[in-house]
Chain A
Amino acid sequence: MIIDVKMFAAARQYTSQAVVRVELEEPANVSDLKVALLQQFPQLEPLAGHLTIAVDNDYVDDEHLLEENSEVAVIPPVSGG
C-alpha cells in the first residue's frame, strides 16, 4: 500500500518535502507508518515520540488502520495562537 503523507513545520523542514511517499505492507496501522517514516527519514528523529498522525482531518491513535485513499498528515506539536 502506498501512502502519501503531508508534512508540516519542522517535519517538512527536516525532510525538505511537503509530501512524502511511504510504502507499507497491508494491513498497516499508524504505528507501522511512524516506524516506516523514521526509517525512511532518519532526520525526523528529533520529532520521534512527538509525531501525531491525522487521517482525513482528525487525530488518530497508533492502532488506527490505514487505508490507501485516506488523507494522511504528520502533525508535530502545534503552536498556533
Chain B
Amino acid sequence: MIELVQQPIDAGRVLAHVASNEAGAVVLFLGTTRQFTRQRETLSLDYECYPEMATEKLQQLEAEARRRWPIVDLAIVHRLGHLELGEASVAIAVSSPHRQDAFEAGTWLIDTLKQVVPIWKQENWADGTSQWVHPGVDPPESPLNQPGECKP
C-alpha cells in the first residue's frame, strides 16, 4: 500500500493493512516532527511533493523490498501539507514471517525513501523564518519561503 495523504496518519490503519496470519513479525516506523535540530527550534513543518513521480518511486521501493526480503505485506504512507510538532510525517509498516527481515526491510525503506523520493520539507523556525531543507545545499541568508500546493 502506497499513499500520499493530506490528513493525519492513522498508525492503527497502517498496521491493520499489513496484519496477516502468515506473519510472525510486524515492524512499524513513524517519522515525527522534532522540536530541535542542532539547537534550532522548529515550530512546524510543511511538506510538498512531485505527486506522480513520488508515487512511482514509492511503488518501485515496494517492489524492490519485496524482491529482497520475504515480505508478507508492507505499507508506506507519507503525509503532505502542514504538520505540527509530534505529528507523524511518514509511516512504514512491514510484516514478514521472521522479525529480522521486517526490521531490515523497514530500515532500507525509510533510508531509501529519504534519498530518492521527490518529497521536500520546509522548516518553520521559532525565529519566524522558513526554509526548504535541501541536504548538501547551504541555505541563503534570509529565506522567505511559501509552501506550495501538493495534491496527489
CA distance A57 to B117 in the complex (A): 10
Kindly state the interface size class of chain B when it binds its partner: 35 or more
What are the residues of chain A within 8 A of B115 when measuring CB–CB?
Answer: 78
- Classify the secondary structure of B's interface with A: mixed
Rounded to whole angstroms, the CA-CA distance of A13 and B122 in the bound complex is 11
Q: How far is the CB of A52 from chain B (nearest CB, A)?
A: 9
- Whether A79 pairs with B90 at a CB distance below 8 angstroms is no
B134 at the interface (CB under 8 A from A): yes
Chain B's closest residue to A71 (CB) is B52
**Do A12 and B148 form a contact, CB below 8 Å, given A54-B50, A79-B135?**
yes
Q: How many A-B residue pairs have CB under 8 A?
A: 93
Interface: B2 (CB within 8 A):
no
Chain B CB within 8 A of A9 CB = yes
**B49 interface contact, C-beta 8 A:** yes
A-B interface, 6 closest residue pairs, ranked by CB to CB distance from nearest: A80-B119, A9-B120, A79-B133, A10-B132, A81-B114, A57-B53
Q: Could you list which residues of chain B lie within 8 angstroms of chain A, going by C-beta atoms?
A: 31, 47-50, 52-54, 56-57, 78, 89-90, 110, 113-122, 132-140, 143, 145-146, 148
Q: A47-B137, A77-B137, A79-B134 are in contact. List 10 more A-B contacts (CB 8 A).
A: A8-B118, A9-B132, A57-B53, A58-B53, A59-B116, A76-B120, A78-B135, A80-B78, A80-B113, A80-B118
